Structure 1
Amino acid sequence: MKPFLLISTRDNDQAARAEYTSVARHARLRHRELAQIRLETAPLTTFGLDLAAFSGIFLGGSSFNVSDTDKSPLQERVENDLNGLLDTIVTRDLPFLGLCYGIGTMTAYLSGHVDRTYGESVGAVNITVTPAGRNDPLLADLPARFEAFVGHKEGSNGVPPGAELLAIGEACPVQMYRVGTNVYVTQFHPELDADDLADRMRIYQHVGYFRPDELDELAAMAKASGVDGSQHRLLANFTRRYTVAD
């Protein structure tokens, strides 16, 4: 089979490795079936990507925020690289699934509005599948309402032009949408279970997603939450739908 590709933009080695491991595990991919590039390490052109060589593309989370007002040269370069990549992906309607940072990047690319109105603290939230989502192959076998983990400083302030809303939340209304037929983004993290979230929180304990002294309490809340693995089906459905024989 053609491998899938995970594009990471995390400036932390441990976080980048953890993201790869969680995506691979919950998408049910072996390591040879999931390649990874870290876009924060070098410009996109240096990787010589041939998108036709991959069954589909994941874009992971990030410490960057699209709505940041003071952006470093690195962040600006990463965003420019991603905009160029999204131009190809959206125009060609290639299989794509953006996670958390992916929805902010896509919303901005589509000329939607991303701001701090709908940020969510780290924890579990209720996700409700819309009527359009219930008819979508990535969500068809998920419950109409399920829990998933979130933790983000910004959100999409409305559905961008041309997008189909597939899942909604309470504190952050836009939780998942589709562009065209094959391009998807989520605000929640379908790749995280309670252990994954606890590991991620330890890495980012001091960067403002929560008070550092809340770590143990939040980890315990994650364990006691109603997140039951339903959210992982989204990843498995994506890889099952788009796997291409080599």
Structure 2
Amino acid sequence: MPRFAYLSARPQHSAADAEYESFRTAARLEPGELDRVDLVHERLPADAVDRWAGFVVGGSPFNVTEPEAAKTDEQVLLEADLARLATHAAEGRTAALFTCYGIGIATRTLGGDVSRGYPEDTGPTTITLTEAGTRDPLFGALPTRFSAVTAHKEGSAAPPPGAVLLATNDACPVQAYRVGERLYATQFHPEPTARAFTERMAIYRDDGYFDAMDYEAIAARVHATALSEPPRILRAFVGAF
């Protein structure tokens, strides 16, 4: 049985399929080495932390900050499952890497604040490691400053209580953190290539992340950006756990 599982929170099948492949290839896992759980349509198994050694959580068009009454039943259920996983990882019972939408779930679950005050435009951004980040087992081998891609409508000014801030930038102060030794979270996307990210952009072209008329210009900036460093986090994650 594969040691790791990808947890999808994307209702769009094409986006979920592509994100799975991006995580798998970035982590350099062979086909069959990364399981997949579609949390939009199925619950996280009760024995998940016994079934898999670790988890990677992808992004989503959902937002943590949406009013609870406005959330679909699917979103409510998958957020509950991800919150349970975040608790288990924070307690050291499993390893998990929450990305983009996932970082919001982890932050809220662990007592932090998520708001619409720290969005980032779709496209490349510069990430800076904190001093703690330079010493972290997963992040420490990266350059102090590197490029990554983002696309989100919410974020945080500070990590949740007990978390160690690993990476930041001016637009969204919390770009990555660690809780304990086995829970990691990133606001930026560590997994996609430039091509995969721009293909994902096309799927969400009319979802308010950017002006649809700007697609070509943003895509050109993404393709002109070196995205070699973020996948190293995924390779370190699967190597560590």
TM-score (norm 2): 0.95
1:233 alignment partner in structure 2: 232
1:182 alignment partner in structure 2: 182
Give unmatched runs, 5+ long, in structure 1: none
**In the TM superposition, what is the alpha-carbon distance from 1:89 to its structure 2 partner?**
2.5
The separation in 1 between residues aligned to 2:93 and 2:181, in whole angstroms, is 7
1:15 alignment partner in structure 2: 15
**In the TM superposition, what is the alpha-carbon distance from 1:49 to its structure 2 partner?**
3.8
1:150 alignment partner in structure 2: 150
The separation in 2 between residues aligned to 1:168 and 1:234, in whole angstroms, is 15
**In the TM superposition, what is the alpha-carbon distance from 1:231 to its structure 2 partner?**
1.1
**In the TM superposition, what is the alpha-carbon distance from 1:88 to its structure 2 partner?**
2.3
2:198 alignment partner in structure 1: 198
The separation in 2 between residues aligned to 1:146 and 1:75, in whole angstroms, is 33
1:55 to 2:53 alignment: yes
**In the TM superposition, what is the alpha-carbon distance from 1:158 to its structure 2 partner?**
1.4
2:217 alignment partner in structure 1: 217
**In the TM superposition, what is the alpha-carbon distance from 1:214 to its structure 2 partner?**
1.2
The superposition leaves residues 109-132 of structure 1 with CA deviations (integer Å, 9 ceiling, x where unpaired) of 011110111100101111011111
**In the TM superposition, what is the alpha-carbon distance from 1:73 to its structure 2 partner?**
2.1
The separation in 2 between residues aligned to 1:49 and 1:17, in whole angstroms, is 24
TM-score (norm 1): 0.93
What is the RMSD computed on CA atoms of the aligned residues? 1.4
Letter in 1 for 2:161: P
Contact 2:167 2:175 in 1 (8 A): yes
The separation in 2 between residues aligned to 1:64 and 1:2, in whole angstroms, is 28
The superposition leaves residues 20-67 of structure 1 with CA deviations (integer Å, 9 ceiling, x where unpaired) of 0000000000121100000001233xx454322323111111111101
The separation in 2 between residues aligned to 1:39 and 1:155, in whole angstroms, is 22
The separation in 1 between residues aligned to 2:159 and 2:89, in whole angstroms, is 19
The superposition leaves residues 208-240 of structure 1 with CA deviations (integer Å, 9 ceiling, x where unpaired) of 101111111111111122x33111110111111
Moved over 6 A (4+): none
Deviates most, 173-182 or 88-97 = 88-97
State, as a whole percentage, how many aligned pairs show the same letter: 41
Q: How many residues align?
A: 239
1:95 alignment partner in structure 2: 95
The separation in 1 between residues aligned to 2:210 and 2:170, in whole angstroms, is 19
Deviates most, 1-10 or 148-157 = 1-10
